Amino acid sequence: MTGAILVGGEARSSDRFFQATDPATGELIEARFPEAGIEDVDAACRLADLAFMDYAMSPPTRIAAFLEKIAENILAIGDDLIVSAMRETGLPRPRLEGERGRTVGQLRLFAGLVRQGEWIDARIDPAMPDRAPAPRPEIRSRKMALGPVAVFGASNFPLAFSVAGGDTASALAAGCPVVFKGHPAHPATGELVARAIQSAVSDCGLPEGVFSYLPGPSHELGQALVAHPLITAVGFTGSRAGGLALMKTAAERETPIPVYAEMSSINPVLLLPSRLKAAAEALGGAFVGSLTMGAGQFCTNPGLLLVLDGPDADRFLDGATKALVESAALTMLTPGIHAAYCAGIEALADHGGARLVARGLVGEGPHMARAALFETSASQFLSDPVLSREVFGSTSLLVRCKDEAELCAVLEGLEGQLTATLHMDEGDQALAGRLMPRLIRKVGRILANGWPTGVEVTHAMVHGGPFPATSDGRTTSVGTMAIERFLRPVCFQDISDVLLPEALRQDNPLSLPLRVDGQRI
Ligand SMILES: NC(=O)C1=CN([C@@H]2O[C@H](COP(=O)(O)OP(=O)(O)OC[C@H]3O[C@@H](n4cnc5c(N)ncnc54)[C@H](O)[C@@H]3O)[C@@H](O)[C@H]2O)C=CC1
Ligand SMILES: O=C(O)CCC(=O)C(=O)O
């Protein structure tokens, strides 16, 4: 790791440098990293475009082997990767080791998906030369990669949502070269992973432009990347302001492109009455575990609790308070995120419409988050949009609803969400059934009797949801369905076999699953 901008196979430097902060001490980390400039953006995008068709038309086995090689190279970095991520993010070792496992598992899951071939969605509608009154031509189609993709990593998952995270894995799986904008909060960790990908490109004999890495803190860098005419789509996880700014740039280009941005969510948790009666205090304690995990720096953090008012709501608050007042303060990812968290808590504490229920322990480090829990009434909540704004970190607001109608009004007033959680038992089935259509309209994932933090990476997972949880609620950024974001269908009508992509040739040389005249074979 030398501090470099990686443009294809080349390591470049710059005359501008930046440093990361160790959030545990507040000190700058000594290593200096070159800031990528507009010329690097242009060179990376041109190389990506040059690599595109060769890479996209590769047999699935070649792409799958590449994804597996990336996973292998990441593991080969060894403990340096974990140590670097700990220093740059303040996250603890077990969490980062788990995240490395998730990252590698994600790459391997996509490799399996790519090999299996269903994602190509090869379809053949045979010609009907004798059809009357007019013959039908032969029609074949497959899903094809969009082209070079710009990916922005998140600060809160320096491995699983960063350089080799879900957006990169799904774009590479689809056959799209990736130009990655490095997150300025973890440049050493980012570069270690970027070099692992760069080596995998050469180990697998792929064109160098399949991957480039552009580190830097400036918005201009990210903007130039999204505006670059050779970029065809964007993957992003981060703030609402950042996601919206990139969506605007993408929409205003001469050729607008899709932006898949995962932004803000407060993840309502509904504590239904029968379950609450049975387990109010225990639920309060379990809730605090999810709230404070990772200093609450999850977009799936349970930021809103909805409850029918009554003594069981008080018992829940008692249980939560007991756990919360003993919860340790944890270091946040960056001074900026910590400052935004403190400002958010202050705004809620000063807000006449919300009452502070409890705070966690005070920490000793410079950027430590004390957990917080507030409560309010549904009528207050409904009358003031400030109360439903995300405060990124370990804080949550309990809303007391006087009846089911008020609970439904609160749900209907919410913006789009990544998740909604039901705590329920058999006695709550009927109410849950009435709430379900409302939840389906609002969120990407509905779960029962668990907590929303900790997303599984699987085939059925949806980590998405209507705006502003994401910029496009039709998709997911976690799980194998994420590949769909970077594909488009291309149809071949009466094209001779020799000109067809291999995936659609008559003798099915890739042994792909096919849909012939609508039937799976
Ligand atoms: N949705 C989620 O999962 C997450 C949300 N956040 C939110 O984001 C806040 C700040 O955290 P960051 O990780 O720094 O997110 P951020 O959105 O500020 O930055 C993410 C990436 O986008 C780039 N970027 C941001 N604004 C841009 C703009 N206007 N033009 C071009 N590029 C831009 C940054 O340089 C960085 O590479 C947090 O306080 C939290 O509210 C943070 C992490 C994850
Ligand atoms: O909860 C998780 O595992 C994922 C959360 C997430 O996507 C995020 O915070 O960006």
Alpha-carbon distance of 73 to 429, in angstroms, equals 48
Which top CATH class is 5-11+32-263+473-504?
alpha beta
Cα(156) to centroid of ligand 1, in Å? 10
What are the residues facing 179 on neighbouring strands? 150, 212
Q: Which of 12, 189, 162 lies closest to 88, judged by CA?
A: 189
470 lines ligand 2 (CB under 6 A): no
Alpha-carbon distance of 393 to 340, in angstroms, equals 9
Residue 484's contacts (CB-CB under 8 Å, 6 or more residues apart) are 119, 475
Name the one residue in this structure whose structure tokens are 């639920």. Answer: 283
H or E element at residue 56: helix 38-56
Alpha-carbon distance of 217 to 20, in angstroms, equals 10
Cα(147) to centroid of ligand 2, in Å? 27
Kindly give the number of the ligand 1 atom that is closest to the alpha carbon of 265.
Answer: 1
Cα(161) to centroid of ligand 2, in Å? 8
Q: Give the ligand at the shortest distance from the Cα of 166.
A: 2
H or E element at residue 422: strand 417-423
- For the purposes of burial, counting CB atoms within 10 Å of the CB of 502, is it exposed (0-12), middle (13-18) or buried (19 or more)? middle
109 lines ligand 1 (CB under 6 A): no
Pocket test residue of 91, 168, 239 for ligand 1, highest count of atoms within 8 A of CB: 239
Name the one residue in this structure whose structure tokens are 């803000």. Answer: 264
- Whether 235 and 151 have beta carbons less than 8 Å apart is answered as yes
* Helix, strand, coil share (%) of the chain residues, nearest 5: 45, 20, 35
* Residue 230: strand, helix, or coil: coil
Active-site entry in 35, 68, 208, 262: 262
Active-site entry in 45, 176, 299, 401: 299
What are the residues facing 17 on neighbouring strands? 34
454 lines ligand 2 (CB under 6 A): yes
Q: Which of 402, 425, 432, 398 lies closest to 278, judged by CA?
A: 425
Kindly give the number of the ligand 1 atom that is closest to the alpha carbon of 299.
Answer: 3
Look at the pTM and tell me if it is higher than 0.95: yes
* Residue 279: strand, helix, or coil: helix
Alpha-carbon distance of 402 to 443, in angstroms, equals 23
pLDDT in tens, the chain (521 residues): 679 999 999 999 999 999 999 999 999 999 999 999 999 999 999 999 999 999 999 999 999 999 999 999 999 999 999 999 999 999 999 999 999 999 999 999 999 999 999 999 999 999 999 999 999 999 999 999 999 999 999 999 999 999 999 999 999 999 999 999 999 999 999 999 999 999 999 999 999 999 999 999 999 999 999 999 999 999 999 999 999 999 999 999 999 999 999 999 999 999 999 999 999 999 999 999 999 999 999 999 999 999 999 999 999 999 999 999 999 999 999 999 999 999 999 999 998 999 999 999 999 989 999 999 999 999 999 999 999 999 999 999 999 999 999 999 999 999 999 999 999 999 999 999 999 999 999 999 999 999 999 999 999 999 999 999 999 999 999 999 999 999 999 999 999 999 999 999 999 999 999 999 999 99
485 lines ligand 1 (CB under 6 A): no
The pLDDT assigned to 2 comes to 79
Q: What is the 3-state secondary structure (H, E, C) of 313-375?
A: HHHHHHHHHHHHHCCCCEECCCHHHHHHHHHHHHHHHHCCCCEEEEECCCCCCCCEECCEEEE
Cα(187) to centroid of ligand 1, in Å? 15
Cα torsion 469, 187, 184, 211 to 10°: value is -60
Handedness of CA 4, 5, 11, 12 (dihedral sign): negative
- In this structure, the strands spanning 368-369 and 487-493 are unpaired
Cα(303) to centroid of ligand 2, in Å? 13
Alpha-carbon distance of 193 to 477, in angstroms, equals 20
395 lines ligand 2 (CB under 6 A): no
Q: What does residue 415 show for φ and ψ, rounded to 5 degrees?
A: -75, 175
Alpha-carbon distance of 222 to 226, in angstroms, equals 6
CATH architecture of the domain 268-448 equals 3-Layer(aba) Sandwich (3.40)
| Domain boundary assignment for the chain | 5-11+32-263+473-504, 268-448
Q: Which of 305, 231, 241 lies closest to 267, judged by CA?
A: 305
Q: How many CB atoms lie within 10 A of CB 479?
A: 23
Alpha-carbon distance of 210 to 148, in angstroms, equals 8
CA atoms within 13 A on the CB side of 190: 35
Any catalytic annotation for residue 299?
yes
Which ipTM was obtained for this model?
A: 0.95
340 lines ligand 1 (CB under 6 A): yes
How many Å from the N-terminal Cα to the C-terminal Cα in the chain? 49
Q: What is the 3-state secondary structure (H, E, C) of 434-495?
A: HHHHHHHHHEEEEEECCCCCCCCCCCCCCCCCCCCCECCCCCCCCCHHHHHHHEEEEEEECC
Alpha-carbon distance of 509 to 513, in angstroms, equals 11
- Whether 262 and 469 have beta carbons less than 8 Å apart is answered as yes
